Chain A
Amino acid sequence: MGGHLNFNHLLFLGHGALWTIGLSLIALGGGGLAGFVIALARVSPLKSVRLLSAVYVQLIQGTPLLVILFLGYFGLAAVGFQLSPLAAAGASLTLYVAAYLGEIWRGCIESVPKPQWEAAEGLALSRSQRMMKVILPQAIRIATPPTVGFMVQIIKNTSLASVVGFVELMRSGQIVNNSLFEPFAIYAIIAVVYFAMCYPISLYSQRLERRMGRGKFNLAPA
């Protein structure tokens, strides 16, 4: 115990920060792919598919990410499937992100004006053609600002992977703290690093939103 924060500690924290970014990208990639499937399933013409995907979203959105992580790491290990911390964290975050992105994207697909669907149908496009050539290109535009905003949530949520022992930024901070025991200073540094990662993305998402003309009531009273 004792000693001061030195270059090696900072290097270790930097390494953790890289893993935070890595895990966020894994969650965004996996969760994005699965979320896309969820979003399509939520607007499927088949009632059973719609119902199944709605149940999935409700179940995940009703459970804390921490519990999903514990299930994936300790729960599965107890029934004979031992996942590495990275695999457990990546899988749990993927499941979690898929439910939220799926729901955000469903809203975007549904907010494409109805006449667009009807016109595409009138042009005798098949359902998949309508989706791919008419609806999705417009939905993607609508979806960009909230998706960028959700990336902030993903980065923040990767901090929970520390509880299953995955050494990302938060965990590396805890490890450094175990040798120095200056919790306040170290967690303050960690907070600043998270802020430095998240704030630019927040700003970018706000700018995208304004550019879409959603900020029109920004002119409201002083």
Chain B
Amino acid sequence: MGVELDFPAVLERWPSFLGGAILTLELAFFATVLGAFLGTLAAVGRRSHSLLIARTCKVYVEAIRNTPLLVQIFLVYFGLASIGLKFSAFTVAVAALTINVGAYTAEIMRAGFEAIPRGQLEAAEGLALSRLQIYWHIILLPAVERVYPALTSQFVLLMLASSVCSQISAEELTAVANYIQSDTYRAFETYIIIAVLYIFLSLVMRAGFWGLGFVLFPRRRRLGTPL
């Protein structure tokens, strides 16, 4: 079967691809920032002395980690609609991705918390640091430093997973591709192009996180090892 590939015919839609890629990055950015915050809260909550808070956080983490993102997105989408709240597809997508990545962040942060030597906590208490000071200086910052590589690969995976938001018609990269291929009948070329774009975006994100880690964790840089 002689099918000619015609990339230029699809590539002339580059402004749409660019717009989709930018929206994908925006989705990933908001979900990463909000999800990191939510996940850290959940990880702290799991250590709470209140059984109710600790249990709630555990249920949240396990429920999200054991169900597909696609189902979560539909649940958020229709759940918000059924209680009469109307949001844009973008907002719903950010909310669903945040809830999703928050659970994974919580699990990674928990591993970081657990790796902190007990002696350091005792030393901090001995120095009469307040609870808040201990949490910030002794637990949170060193834990983030330790799990930074795991966190960043989770955030890159989140950017890739945001492609699923095309299913609720958020106009990100995959949704743009679906539209272009139905318009040009050149599905193969279109999806190859966005695959390359996604690979490029994930490389950009990894480079960005590497640079950010360089700035944020000078100690790591000096020692050459995590802690």
* Chain A interface residues (CB < 8 Å from chain B): 58-59, 61-68, 70-71, 74-80, 152, 156-157, 159-160, 162-163, 170, 183-184, 187-188, 190-191, 194-195, 198-199, 202, 217-222
20 contacts between A and B (CB under 8 A): A61-B202, A62-B198, A64-B198, A67-B163, A67-B194, A67-B198, A70-B174, A70-B187, A74-B191, A75-B192, A80-B3, A157-B68, A183-B78, A195-B66, A198-B65, A219-B118, A220-B113, A220-B115, A220-B117, A221-B121
Contacts of B198 in A (CB 8 A): 62-64, 67
Specify which of B66, B167, B186, B194 is in contact with A163 (CB 8 Å cutoff): B167
Specify which of B3, B79, B167 is in contact with A184 (CB 8 Å cutoff): B79
Interface residues contributed by chain B, number (CB under 8 Å): 51
Closest to B121 in A: A221
B181 proximal to A (CB < 8 A): yes
| Cβ–Cβ contact A170 & B188, under 8 A | no
A-B contact count (CB 8 A): 130
| Cβ–Cβ contact A190 & B71, under 8 A | yes
B128 proximal to A (CB < 8 A): no
- Would you give the shortest CB distance from A196 to chain B, in whole angstroms? 9
| Cβ–Cβ contact B202 & A62, under 8 A | yes
Tell whether A191 pairs with B67 under 8 Å between CB atoms, given A64-B198, A66-B166, A202-B62. yes
B33 proximal to A (CB < 8 A): no
Specify which of A58, A70, A77, A190 is in contact with B177 (CB 8 Å cutoff): A70
| Cβ–Cβ contact A66 & B174, under 8 A | yes
Tell whether A202 pairs with B187 under 8 Å between CB atoms, given A66-B174, A74-B181. no
| Cβ–Cβ contact B188 & A78, under 8 A | yes
Complex CA distance for A80 and B95, rounded to whole angstroms? 39
Interface residues of B: mostly helix, strand, loop or mixed?
A: helix
Tell whether A71 pairs with B195 under 8 Å between CB atoms, given A62-B203, A183-B74, A202-B62. yes
Specify which of A59, A68, A156, A218 is in contact with B69 (CB 8 Å cutoff): A156
Specify which of A58, A66, A188, A220 is in contact with B75 (CB 8 Å cutoff): A188
B residues 134-172 near A (Cβ < 8 Å) are 160-164, 166-167
Closest to A220 in B: B114
Specify which of A62, A75, A188, A202 is in contact with B191 (CB 8 Å cutoff): A75
Contacts of A219 in B (CB 8 A): 118
| Cβ–Cβ contact B5 & A79, under 8 A | yes
Complex CA distance for A76 and B5, rounded to whole angstroms? 12
B11 proximal to A (CB < 8 A): no
- Would you give the shortest CB distance from A175 to chain B, in whole angstroms? 14
